[in-house]
Amino acid sequence: MEKKILFLDLDGTLLTDSKDITPENLAAIQKATKLGHAIVICTGRPLVSTAKQLEKLGLTGPGCYAITSNGALIYDAYKKETIFYKGVQKDCIREAFDEAYKFRLHAQTYNDTAALCERETEEMKYYSVSTILPYEVVEDVTKALDSSPDPIKLLFIDLHDRSRLEAFRQHMEPWAKKNRLDMFFSCDQYLEFLPEGINKGSGVRFISEYLNVPYEHTLAAGDAENDISMLKAVKLPCVMKNARPEMYAYGAYLTEQDNNHSGIAEIIEKFML
């Protein structure tokens, strides 16, 4: 049997709305890895949060990898080593935060262990609980990052009004182009800024080459805008039934089951086992 790689988004794809994994999804993943296939978690979450999920899923053996922060950091879960990293240049963070505040948006970035913000908000508390990631409220994120590497990304959140995030993205387009940053939604509430060219698709290509697995043996499953580059980078792109309707066009296969009813087990059983 030829080795295949399945690249899996977490939220809205592998995980249920309550951030759990169904027994059927877990059993299917275990079957696939026992047969020698690779399962690569591919998420917008930072490494600290993703590593906890990998432990929970049992994806920490040889050949287990994670593409985190939408491609900014790639991790060998067995060796517990970072094998790729590219951050947002620190000198552009202050302006991005200040512009976000004008749109009444929550703004955050990251150090190695936590999310960093300057204001205690409903959005920060929600994000921390849903991703199992601690956060720190600091006076100035740029000063707090002085002795740290460039952060993995900037994240702007509005839990109630996506249109404010859309208006902010449009407003920031010239600025983002000047600073060589890409902007995209990872869900309706989250707008992400990453280095230009860094996305889940770039992570998929890196891992496929790193593991020497040909394009013909790659699959992916996702549900949101930040999954488009990943879906375009594989031979068999699968879109979840619960995705926004505009995402359906990016899938060669649309699941019959949603993320709450083991849609990933459906994909694994149909195309890998």
* Same domain? 207 vs 75: yes
* Same domain? 182 vs 122: yes
Q: What pLDDT is attached to residue 255?
A: 98
pLDDT in tens, 102-156: 999 999 999 989 999 999 999 999 999 988 899 999 999 999 999 889 999 999 9
Q: Which domain holds residue 61?
A: 5-86+198-271
Single-letter residue type at 243 = A
The domain total for the chain is 2
Q: What pLDDT is attached to residue 161?
A: 96
* Same domain? 104 vs 118: yes
CATH number of the domain bearing residue 205? 3.40.50.1000
Residue 40's nearest CA partner among 14, 72, 1 is 14
User: How many whole angstroms separate alpha carbon 150 and alpha carbon 105?
Assistant: 22
* Same domain? 76 vs 206: yes
* Same domain? 167 vs 204: no
* Same domain? 97 vs 187: yes
* Same domain? 116 vs 188: yes
The stretches in the chain having pLDDT less than 70 are: none
Q: With contact defined as beta carbons under 8 Å apart, do 74 and 68 qualify? A: yes
CATH number of the domain bearing residue 190? 3.30.1240.10
CA torsion angle for 173, 179, 184, 190 (degrees, to 10)? Answer: -100
Q: What pLDDT is attached to residue 235?
A: 98
Q: What pLDDT is attached to residue 184?
A: 92
Q: What pLDDT is attached to residue 256?
A: 98
Q: How many CB atoms lie within 10 A of CB 196?
A: 12
C-alpha dist (Å) from residue 218 to 39, 73, 134, 191, 263: 10, 20, 34, 27, 18
Q: Which of 171, 195, 219 is the last residue of a domain?
A: 195
* Same domain? 141 vs 18: no
Q: Which of 178, 195, 212 is the last residue of a domain?
A: 195
Q: What pLDDT is attached to residue 253?
A: 98
Q: What pLDDT is attached to residue 202?
A: 96
pTM as predicted: 0.86
Q: Which of 167, 195, 223 is the last residue of a domain?
A: 195
Share of the chain above pLDDT 70, in %: 100
* Same domain? 204 vs 181: no
* Same domain? 188 vs 258: no
Q: What pLDDT is attached to residue 85?
A: 95
Q: What pLDDT is attached to residue 83?
A: 96
* Same domain? 109 vs 63: no
